[in-house]
Homo-oligomer: A and B are copies of this chain.
């Protein structure tokens, strides 16, 4: 009887760990797909494709807001030629395997009216939820500045 209980417990712990590792892998893949879409089709397309309907957004220097529709409107003034390079680093999943966050670094490159390039370095946290249909969508997104990397000597 004790052995049976132990076997059940071990199976449950293994299943939980497996669900957690699986969720982390899936979230990282979603975040990498976001990064690839941002590179190919631009950041506004990537944000629209991966945001949950009830997403909360926390743009630096602006007030937070909620909703994918509002987000798409906010991104409608994305500067022409601006590029967001998104580099996912790690995912951390909920024990239940249906929620978690990824974090990584980004480089935002834009040009001013004189054509001068402006490069900003930062990091981000995206909170993800597995939707009923199985796809991962982000429910929150926030970032802030990193120091610029040291110039090569």
Residues of A within 8 A of B (CB): 56, 58-64, 90, 92, 94-101, 103, 123, 125, 127, 129, 139-140, 142-147
Contact = CB atoms under 8 A, between A and B. Distances in A.
Nearest to A101: B127
Given A58-B123, A101-B140, A103-B56, A95 B146 contact: no
Q: Is chain A's binding surface mostly helix, strand, loop or mixed?
A: strand
Contacts of A60: 144-145
A142 B146 CA distance: 12
Contact of A92 (B95, B100, B140): B140
Contacts of A144: 58-61, 142-144
Among all A-B residue pairs, the 9 with the closest Cβ atoms: A96-B96, A94-B99, A60-B144, A144-B144, A99-B99, A94-B94, A125-B142, A95-B98, A96-B98
